[in-house]
Amino acid sequence: MDATGPSGGLAGGTAMIRLSGVGKTYDDGTVAVHSLDLEVAAGELVCLVGPSGCGKSTTLKMVNRLIEPSTGTIEIDGVDVTRSDPVELRRGIGYVIQQVGLFPHQRVLRNVMTVPLLYGESRSTARARARELLELVGLDPETYGDRYPHQLSGGQRQRVGVARALAANPPVLLMDEPFGAVDPVVRVHLQDEFLRLQRDLGKTVLLVTHDIDEAVRMGDRVGVFAAGGRLAQYATPAELLARPADDFVADFVGSERGLRRLSVTPIDVARLQPVDGVRAGDLGGTVDASATLEEALAAMLRSDRGMVGVRRGPQLIGVLTPDGVHRALRASLDA
């Protein structure tokens, strides 16, 4: 995809988000967010998670000033956005919400063209960009471009929402429960598709979710919010699951956090058993060296062999056993 975006705003490249002492207190005295310090590195995907009413969506909306902060500063790529024109700011930030927010009276292609047209792009350029983005999110523009939103499934509408958010090539993408309105199977598929997009595009993403599984599956780092808008912990998924900062975080990530750690812990190839003397028939299949312990354990459980081979490309480089899974989890905790 073309790396240049429409002129103006914040479009083009990636950016770092920095919140310093950011708070939001409403006129009735309700504290929605309490003195928040948070940094998101360029190209990083950060998930904000927590119970309802904890301030995570408020935080997201303060970044693009749909809600004005009461205190503190919010910087994107070193620019204090609280001093920027809010309309221009929002045009340069991609925003995806659970309800998608497509214009019901406009066809899919025109929905995606909206922001480039606002920036003054020609109709032909905006149309070409919209077609490219629909292909990028897995929707054939010939098939879906002329349909109206009501003619799409929930998952398809969500894909169009992501395409529209990317139309101005924004450095920052804000996502508020983007996959929450679809069924679990479609939800996982959309997560996979978005992670693929993120690997290709390298946007700086701030994503709000109530689902801890989604947060640890997608986030490079996860911020857990507690009641009163307090950031209880900010850590990588592996660190969050291995070492909750307090009882609230431990309760929120759940007693299954040991199992969840399997999904965020890679195979430790340095600790594999050698393949010498192991016959192919002894193995319960093979997994790639880039797989997680969860994927390896699932392969073990699909057979009664008690071990799986680990390969790098076509080459078998070692063998993983249940004891090896346990040792890898312990090693990741020590690390």
pLDDT at 208 over 80: yes
pLDDT at 16 over 90: no
pLDDT of residue 281: 73
Residues 83 and 119 in one domain: yes
Name the pLDDT band for 96 (thresholds 50, 70, 90): confident
Q: Which CATH number does the domain housing residue 154 bear?
A: 3.40.50.300
Residues 304 and 286 in one domain: yes
Residues 57 and 170 in one domain: yes
pLDDT at 10 over 70: no
Q: What's the whole-number mean pLDDT along residues 203-208?
A: 94
In a domain, 172, yes or no: yes
Q: What's the whole-number mean pLDDT along residues 177-196?
A: 82
Condensed to tens digits (0 to 9), the pLDDT of residues 145-168 reads 999 999 998 888 888 888 888 887
Sign of CA dihedral 148, 129, 115, 46: positive
Residues 282 and 235 in one domain: no
pLDDT of residue 265: 85
* Mean residue pLDDT across the chain: 86
Name the pLDDT band for 189 (thresholds 50, 70, 90): confident
Alpha-carbon distance of 237 to 234, in angstroms, equals 9
Condensed to tens digits (0 to 9), the pLDDT of residues 211-270 reads 898 999 999 999 999 988 999 999 999 889 988 999 999 999 886 777 788 888 888 888
Which of 326, 256, 274, 257 lies closest to 297 in space, CA to CA? 326
pLDDT of residue 230: 94
Residues 152 and 235 in one domain: yes
In a domain, 301, yes or no: yes
pLDDT at 13 over 80: no
Provide the domain count of the chain.
2
Q: SS3 of 46, please?
A: strand
Residues 78 and 206 in one domain: yes
Residues 78 and 221 in one domain: yes
How many of the other CB atoms lie within 10 Å of CB of 333? 14
Condensed to tens digits (0 to 9), the pLDDT of residues 63-90 reads 999 999 999 999 998 889 888 888 888 8
pLDDT at 304 over 90: no
Q: Which of 255, 286, 304 finishes a domain?
A: 255
Residues 129 and 2 sit within 8 Å (Cβ to Cβ): yes
Comparing 158 with 143, which gets the higher pLDDT? 143
Q: Which domain holds residue 277?
A: 265-334
In a domain, 12, yes or no: no
pLDDT at 5 over 50: no
pLDDT of residue 99: 66
Residues 298 and 251 in one domain: no
Alpha-carbon distance of 330 to 314, in angstroms, equals 29
pLDDT at 4 over 60: no
Name the pLDDT band for 199 (thresholds 50, 70, 90): confident
Q: Which of 237, 255, 273 finishes a domain?
A: 255
Length of the chain in terms of residues written: 335
In a domain, 198, yes or no: yes
pLDDT at 142 over 60: yes
In a domain, 9, yes or no: no
Between CA 314 and CA 319, with CA 315 as vertex, the angle to 5 degrees is 120
In a domain, 327, yes or no: yes
Q: Which of 207, 229, 255 finishes a domain?
A: 255
Residues 219 and 316 in one domain: no
Residues 309 and 210 in one domain: no
Give the pTM.
0.79
Rounded alpha-carbon distances, angstroms, from residue 54 to 34, 61, 206, 210, 241? 10, 13, 16, 10, 20
Residues 294 and 185 in one domain: no
In a domain, 117, yes or no: yes
Residues 323 and 207 in one domain: no
In a domain, 303, yes or no: yes
pLDDT of residue 15: 58
Q: Which CATH number does the domain housing residue 319 bear?
A: 3.90.1280.20
Comparing 97 with 108, which gets the higher pLDDT? 108
